[in-house]
A = this chain, B = another copy of it.
Amino acid sequence: MLPGFLARAVELLLGREGRSLHVKAAGAATAVLAMVTLLGAWAVVVAEHGAPRANLRTYPQALWWAVETATTVGYGDYFPVTFGGRVVAAAVMVVGITTYGMVTAALATWFVGREQRRRHHLASHARELSEETVHALHERFDRLERMMAGDGGRE
């Protein structure tokens, strides 16, 4: 169950099939999140620099802080104390939440699409039946015309 599922996920993220909007949007959001995490960690150290009670002083600390902020865990071991640092934090939070929302939405779209494709097979079966119907009607016309031609010939 799992290996096939993971293989599919990798295929969707890297592969040829990944052209749908939802996969592209989730991928783009993840890329933006990675960038905002890396830049936000740098920006918060710059913003907090020199503040008396600042606890975000080095880039490695700030990177860890950015990760726990983007995931909304927020242990409270590190947090910004300046206005600038808090604006950076708000941006990291919003981008983090939106990214996870986009991943959830992309998963939902993938699931819904799969369910509908299953029903689509039923629908295309119905379409084949309707082609048979049209064929049958044409055969009735052919027969009518042959009858009329025979009728005319008999005279």
Q: Which A residues have a C-beta under 8 Å from some C-beta of B? A: 1-2, 5, 20-22, 24-25, 27-28, 31-32, 60, 64, 67-69, 71-77, 79, 81, 83, 86, 89-90, 93-94, 97-98, 100-116, 119-120, 126-127, 130, 133-134, 136-138, 140-141, 143-145, 147-152, 154-155
Number of copies: 4
Cβ 8 A contact of A104, one of B104, B133, B143: B104
Say yes or no: A68-B89 contact (C-beta < 8 A), given A104-B101, A112-B112, A119-B120. Answer: yes
What is the distance, in angstroms, from A117's C-beta to the closest C-beta of chain B? Answer: 9
B144 touches A145 (CB 8 A): yes
Within 8 Å CB of A151, what residues of B? 148, 151-152
A-B pairs with beta carbons under 8 Å apart, 24 shown: A1-B24, A1-B27, A5-B25, A20-B111, A20-B114, A21-B110, A22-B114, A22-B115, A60-B83, A64-B86, A67-B86, A69-B73, A71-B72, A71-B97, A76-B77, A77-B79, A108-B109, A108-B111, A112-B112, A112-B113, A130-B130, A134-B136, A144-B145, A152-B154
Instruction: Give 10 closest A-B pairs by Cβ, nearest first.
Output: A101-B104, A76-B76, A22-B111, A73-B74, A105-B108, A105-B107, A109-B111, A75-B79, A71-B93, A75-B76
